[in-house]
Amino acid sequence: MTKHNPIRTTTRLLDIWNNSAPIRYLIVGGWNFAFGYAVFAGPYWLLNGIWPDWVIATLAAILSITMSYVTHRFITYRSHGCWWREYLRFYVVYGGQSLLNILLIWLLVTKLRYNAYATQLAISLVLTLASYWAHKLYSFKKP
């Protein structure tokens, strides 16, 4: 029977973390999802009926996209590029994805009557993969 070596295991996990941007992307994305949901749900619970829904959603989107930018910049892609240029590119990617998501929901749910929950899940999975590559090749593109 072989003994478990915690140092070797820790070293292996650190190697995987350091050499795999897709794994960092998924873990950071999980955090960003939770943060984005909380930053919408908390203020919505507190301010619903006081502030218009669109104001709460807009402020939550700005905070969520900014948090997502910071975490992806420093953790996922480890970028040292011009921050404001990357930030604007990041918004272009997420803005484009948001418009595509709205269009696909309208087409598939409203017009073709697909299940909204399953449709949004499928769209989210595809857009998650697409956004990894869009950020890698555009938002955080190395010169």
Q: Is this structure's pTM higher than 0.75?
A: yes
Tell me the mean pLDDT in the region 67-73: 95
Q: What is the pLDDT of residues 12-65, one digit of tens each?
A: 888 888 888 899 999 999 999 899 888 888 988 899 889 988 888 888 888 989
Q: How far, in Å, CA of 33 to CA of 39, rounded? A: 10
Rounded CA separation 39/99 (Å):
21
Q: Give the model confidence (pLDDT) of 32-44 as tens digits.
A: 989 988 888 898 8
Nearest to 83 by CA among 28, 139, 32, 24: 139
Average pLDDT over residues 70-95: 93
pLDDT classification of 93: cutoffs 50, 70, 90:
very high
Residue type, 117: Y
Residue 1 has pLDDT above 70, yes or no: no
Mean pLDDT of the residues in the chain: 88
